Amino acid sequence: MFQVKNLTITHKKDLTTLVEGLSFVLAPGDRAAMIGEEGNGKSTVLKLLYDPALAAPYVEWTGEIGDRGARRGYLAQELTREELELSVWAFCQRSPAFEEADPRTLDRAARQVGLDAGLFWDGRSMATLSGGERVKLRLALLLLDGPDVLLLDEPSNDLDVQTLEWLEGFLLSCQAPVLYISHDETLLSRTANMVIHLERLRRRTAPRCTVSRTGYAQYVEERAAGFARQEQNARKERAEYEDKMEKFRQIRNAVDHQLNTVSRQNPGKGRLLKKKMHAVQSMGRRFEREKENMTAMPQWEEAILTAFDAGRSAFPAGKTVLRLELPQLSAGDRVLAQNVRLWVDGPERIGIVGPNGVGKSTLLKLVAEELLPRKDLRAAYMPQDYGDLLLGDRTPVEVLAPSGHREDVTRARTLLGNMKYKAEEMEHPAAGLSGGQRAKLLFLAMVLNGANVLVLDEPTRNFSPLSAPVIRRVLADFPGVIISVSHDRLYLEQVCTRVLELDSNGLREA
Reported as a single tens digit per residue, the pLDDT across 320-367 is 999 999 999 998 788 999 999 999 998 999 999 998 888 999 999 999
Q: Is the pLDDT of residue 38 over 90?
A: no
**Whole-Å CA distances, 473 to 264, 332, 383:** 72, 37, 21
Greater pLDDT, 498 or 200:
498
pLDDT in tens, 448-477: 888 999 999 988 887 888 778 888 888 999
Q: Determine the pLDDT at residue 126.
A: 93
Q: Determine the pLDDT at residue 173.
A: 86
Model-level pTM? 0.69
Given a contact cutoff of 8 angstroms between Cβ atoms, the answer to whether 470 and 309 are in contact is: no
Q: Is the pLDDT of residue 224 over 90?
A: no
Q: Determine the pLDDT at residue 201.
A: 79
Q: Determine the pLDDT at residue 243.
A: 86
Given a contact cutoff of 8 angstroms between Cβ atoms, the answer to whether 28 and 175 are in contact is: yes
Model confidence band, residue 371 (pLDDT cutoffs 50, 70, 90): very high
Half-sphere exposure at residue 504, Cβ-oriented, CA atoms within 13 angstroms: 2
What residue ranges in 17-155 does DSSP mark as E strands? 17-26, 31-36, 59-66, 72-75, 149-153
User: In a 10 Å sphere around its CB, with 0-12 CB exposed, 13-18 middle and 19+ buried, how is residue 64 labelled?
Assistant: exposed
Given a contact cutoff of 8 angstroms between Cβ atoms, the answer to whether 509 and 499 are in contact is: yes
- Please give, one letter per residue, the 3-state secondary structure of 163-207: HHHHHHHHHHHCCCCEEEECCCHHHHHHHCCEEEEEEEHHHHCEE
Alpha-carbon span 312 to 180, nearest angstrom: 40
Model confidence band, residue 141 (pLDDT cutoffs 50, 70, 90): very high
Please choose, from the candidates 324, 387, 318, 290, the residue with its C-alpha nearest in 3D space to the C-alpha of residue 84: 387
pLDDT in tens, 195-220: 999 988 776 778 989 999 999 999 98
Greater pLDDT, 423 or 51:
51
Alpha-carbon span 212 to 36, nearest angstrom: 14
Please choose, from the candidates 139, 171, 177, the residue with its C-alpha nearest in 3D space to the C-alpha of residue 158: 139
Please choose, from the candidates 175, 139, 159, 184, the residue with its C-alpha nearest in 3D space to the C-alpha of residue 33: 184
Neighbours of 233 (CB within 10 A): 15
Model confidence band, residue 303 (pLDDT cutoffs 50, 70, 90): low
Q: Is the pLDDT of residue 390 over 60?
A: no
Q: Determine the pLDDT at residue 320.
A: 92
Q: Is the pLDDT of residue 11 over 60?
A: yes
Q: Is the pLDDT of residue 53 over 90?
A: yes
**Cα Rg of the chain (Å, integer):** 29
Highest mean pLDDT among 159-168, 397-406, 425-434: 397-406
Alpha-carbon span 487 to 384, nearest angstrom: 12
Mean pLDDT of the chain: 87
Please choose, from the candidates 502, 483, 507, 499, the residue with its C-alpha nearest in 3D space to the C-alpha of residue 381: 483
**Whole-Å CA distances, 79 to 34, 58, 71, 372, 428:** 21, 18, 22, 28, 21
Alpha-carbon span 154 to 167, nearest angstrom: 12
Q: Determine the pLDDT at residue 411.
A: 86
Strands 334-345 and 72-75: unpaired
Q: Determine the pLDDT at residue 214.
A: 95
What residue ranges in 187-258 does DSSP mark as E strands? 194-200, 206-212
Alpha-carbon span 36 to 464, nearest angstrom: 6
The enclosing H or E element of 223 equals: helix 216-261
pLDDT in tens, 241-295: 888 888 888 888 888 888 888 766 677 777 887 888 888 888 888 888 877 777 7
Q: Is the pLDDT of residue 391 over 70?
A: no
Given a contact cutoff of 8 angstroms between Cβ atoms, the answer to whether 358 and 508 are in contact is: no
Q: Determine the pLDDT at residue 128.
A: 85
User: In a 10 Å sphere around its CB, with 0-12 CB exposed, 13-18 middle and 19+ buried, how is residue 193 labelled?
Assistant: middle
Given a contact cutoff of 8 angstroms between Cβ atoms, the answer to whether 449 and 289 are in contact is: no
Q: Determine the pLDDT at residue 385.
A: 74
Neighbours of 483 (CB within 10 A): 27
Greater pLDDT, 357 or 194:
194
Share of the chain above pLDDT 90, in %: 42
Report, as an integer, the average pLDDT of 167-192.
Answer: 91
Q: Determine the pLDDT at residue 384.
A: 80
- Please give, one letter per residue, the 3-state secondary structure of 405-459: CHHHHHHHHHHHHHCCCCHHHHCCCHHHCCHHHHHHHHHHHHHHCCCCEEEEECC
Q: Determine the pLDDT at residue 300.
A: 58
Alpha-carbon span 276 to 317, nearest angstrom: 75
